Amino acid sequence: MRTSQYLLSTLKEDPKEAAVESHRLMLRAGIIRQIASGIYTWLPTGMRVLSKVNQIVREEMDKTGALEIAMPMVQPADLWRESGRYVKYGPELCRFKDRKQNEFALGPTHEEVVTDIARREIKSARQLPMCLYQIQNKFRDEIRPRFGVMRGREFLMKDAYSFDTSVEGTMVTYQKMYDAYSRVFTRMGLEFRPVEADTGSIGGNHSHEFQALADVGEDTIAWSDGSNYAANIEMAEAVAPSYDREAPGEAYSEAETPKCHTVDEAANYLHMDANKVLKSLIVHGEKDENGKNTLVMICLCGNQTLNEVKAVHIPGIADPLEMATEEEIGEFTGAHTGSLGPVGFKGRILVDRTADKMSNFACGANKTGYHLINVNWDRDVPNYEVFDLRNVEEGDPSPDGKGTLHLRNGIEVGQVFMLGTKYSEAMKATVKDENGKDIPMVMGCYGIGVTRAIAAVIEQHHDDRGIIWPENIAPFKVAIVAIKPTKSEQVKAVAEKLYEDLQNAGVEVLYDDRDERPGVMFADMELIGIPHIITIGEKSLKDGVIEYKLRKTQEKSTIAVDNALNEILAKLEK
């Protein structure tokens, strides 16, 4: 490809809207352009990367025996009603009507459509196991699209769905997919970790996320330094403390804490450590007979944080989690949200296992501007339930008993789920077993965020000059920069010849023939992140050489013109 005939679309200035490096570089390197919030066009350079990643994904899926299909993005609402998700999926599902008033949704995922295919096309248990996949655009009306394609509204996903007669059989496919995902992300050059994960709105009971490690990642993962344990913080168990609670001291008493709205403010005012102050939050429980929200108090150690996923897994807690409003709290307790506590609270009280070990602690008095000090469980709060409710912290023991937990941020680039029969039962996707009996198929589903994974690669592979593509997915392998070819016949001839030779050798090469200032051309080739950069200039040609630079390390060397093709080929990764 010649730059003179290409849509390079690089930007000199940093776009203001980009908050993370990958987004900034994807715009500057001419990879993507936004057309509406969370909706992007992939320009030619981006498309070249995207095609390579799709190819890797396709190869690895095909290796598992999965079969490629293409399902529509537009999905009938009735299918979603059958699975029970039409309403439950919430505002991320983009719903619309056609001219005949038929209701549809834009597919955010394809469990419903694929289960419908399976129930119509798969008749016998003998056809199983079977796995169907596609690489296709999804639409999710994300509340906060951000970081470019990292959290878009329309984005490319590889989604696969497996069908089997048993849970054991599905576990085999699950493991194959898990292994295939590891190969995909390795081939993309990502540093990643598979972690235990929550199943969220997809449902099911066993799941792993593939997390690309990056500071900008929106997920937090907890990993042990003494074993392979790694989990999304949403799932990571905070091990119950092994020590006993200290014995209660003197009776509790009231202390003034004017204008203290947070644990820290109260702790400061009371000259106590935050871990001696109880954090009391109020969330919605079940609705009462009048359809009104019941209120449930959650108590945590003051310096720890609530794990919302753990909370919604407790029966009787509203899912998704809803914090009670100030009005509801005021009406129920008579106090401001900053002065809440379990003593005398007339609702259900859930206490975290670490908070359960607190004694002689301070907590809100359910009276605005006051706390109680020297409060103790049982003695002062007779009725409460104890659960694991907090997020793990750096230094907590690993739940598998081996090592200590550490936290890192991750970008979720893929997820595999054991679905079970949730969809096949709801939508009656059955096969006949050997006795002629109808049994629901056992399903798994497996997603890769293709466009997000590309952003994750850039997060991990860039420097202040631009992107440093892993060679496998680089838009071009080699860049040729010709210095003033209009002024030197020799430069032009050598560049043209090398360009032709590389193309004939099947190497993807971008030939910068723009006759721009050298600095401008180098900057562009480095910004785009082409792994091998060749410079052809009159001066070095006098010595019979051309210049070579490895983008990744910026190492420079010279190559004899006569043997240029072979030397360059030798430098390419196989």
Interface residues with ligand ATP (CB under 6 A)? 109, 140, 142, 151-152, 155, 157, 200, 202, 412-415, 447, 449, 451-452
Using the minimum distance from each CB to Mg ion, give the nearer residue, 140 or 187: 140
- The binder of 203, among Mg ion, ligand ATP, none, by C-beta within 5 to 8 A per type, is none
Provide DSSP, 39-89.
EEEEPHHHHHHHHHHHHHHHHHHHHTT-EE----SEEEHHHHHHHTHHHHT
Let me know: does 155 contact 148? Beta carbons within 8 Å: no
Residue nearest Mg ion, CB atom distance: 415
- Counting Cβ atoms within 10 Å, is residue 360 exposed (0-12), middle (13-18) or buried (19+)? middle
- Going by C-alpha positions, the residue among 253, 324, 319 that lies closest to residue 88 is 319
Using the minimum distance from each CB to ligand ATP, give the nearer residue, 60 or 352: 60
Using the minimum distance from each CB to ligand ATP, give the nearer residue, 157 or 431: 157
Q: Cβ 155 to Mg ion, closest distance in Å?
A: 13
Task: Write the single-letter amino acid at 480.
Answer: I
- The binder of 414, among Mg ion, ligand ATP, none, by C-beta within 5 to 8 A per type, is ligand ATP
Let me know: does 301 contact 273? Beta carbons within 8 Å: no
Using the minimum distance from each CB to ligand ATP, give the nearer residue, 411 or 525: 411
Structure tokens at 4: 């003179």
Rounded to a whole number of angstroms, the distance between the first and last alpha carbons of the chain is 21
- The binder of 152, among Mg ion, ligand ATP, none, by C-beta within 5 to 8 A per type, is ligand ATP
Binding mask 405-444 for Mg ion (x = CB under 5 A): ----------x-----------------------------
Q: Cβ 310 to Mg ion, closest distance in Å?
A: 17
- The binder of 157, among ligand ATP, Mg ion, none, by C-beta within 5 to 8 A per type, is ligand ATP
Q: What span, in angstroms and rounded, lies between the C-alpha atoms of 270 and 105?
A: 55
Indicate whether 232 belongs to the interface with Mg ion (CB under 5 A).
Answer: no
Structure tokens at 470: 């892993």
Using the minimum distance from each CB to Mg ion, give the nearer residue, 170 or 415: 415
CA atoms within 13 A on the CB side of 314: 24
- The binder of 413, among Mg ion, ligand ATP, none, by C-beta within 5 to 8 A per type, is ligand ATP
Q: Cβ 199 to ligand ATP, closest distance in Å?
A: 9
Let me know: does 419 contact 111? Beta carbons within 8 Å: yes
- The binder of 48, among ligand ATP, Mg ion, none, by C-beta within 5 to 8 A per type, is none
- Going by C-alpha positions, the residue among 353, 335, 352 that lies closest to residue 344 is 335
Contacts with 175 (C-beta within 8 Å, 6 or more apart), sequence order: none
Q: Cβ 281 to ligand ATP, closest distance in Å?
A: 23
Using the minimum distance from each CB to Mg ion, give the nearer residue, 204 or 440: 204
Using the minimum distance from each CB to Mg ion, give the nearer residue, 27 or 453: 453
Using the minimum distance from each CB to ligand ATP, give the nearer residue, 333 or 451: 451
Q: What span, in angstroms and rounded, lies between the C-alpha atoms of 521 and 4?
A: 12
Q: Cβ 95 to Mg ion, closest distance in Å?
A: 22
- The binder of 452, among ligand ATP, Mg ion, none, by C-beta within 5 to 8 A per type, is ligand ATP
Q: Cβ 377 to Mg ion, closest distance in Å?
A: 37
Q: Cβ 549 to ligand ATP, closest distance in Å?
A: 33
DSSP 8-state symbol, 208: E
- The binder of 151, among ligand ATP, Mg ion, none, by C-beta within 5 to 8 A per type, is ligand ATP
Structure tokens at 541: 């040609």
Residue nearest ligand ATP, CB atom distance: 449
Order of strands across the sheet that contains 556-560: 509-512, 478-482, 532-536, 545-550, 556-560
Instruction: Report, in angstroms and rounded to the nearest whole number, the Rg of the chain calculated over CA atoms.
Output: 29
Let me know: does 353 contact 341? Beta carbons within 8 Å: no
Q: What span, in angstroms and rounded, lies between the C-alpha atoms of 439 and 444?
A: 16
Using the minimum distance from each CB to ligand ATP, give the nearer residue, 422 or 452: 452
Using the minimum distance from each CB to Mg ion, give the nearer residue, 371 or 422: 422
Structure tokens at 14: 């940093």
HEC string of 86-139 equals HHHCHHHCEEEECCCCCEEEECCCCHHHHHHHHHHHCCEHHHCCEEEEEEEEEE
Using the minimum distance from each CB to ligand ATP, give the nearer residue, 154 or 352: 154
Q: Cβ 418 to Mg ion, closest distance in Å?
A: 14
**Antiparallel, parallel or unpaired: β 154-164 and 219-224:** unpaired
- The binder of 140, among ligand ATP, Mg ion, none, by C-beta within 5 to 8 A per type, is ligand ATP
Q: Cβ 189 to ligand ATP, closest distance in Å?
A: 16
Output the CA angle 425-428-432, nearest 5 degrees. Answer: 100
Residues that bind Mg ion (CB under 5 A): 415
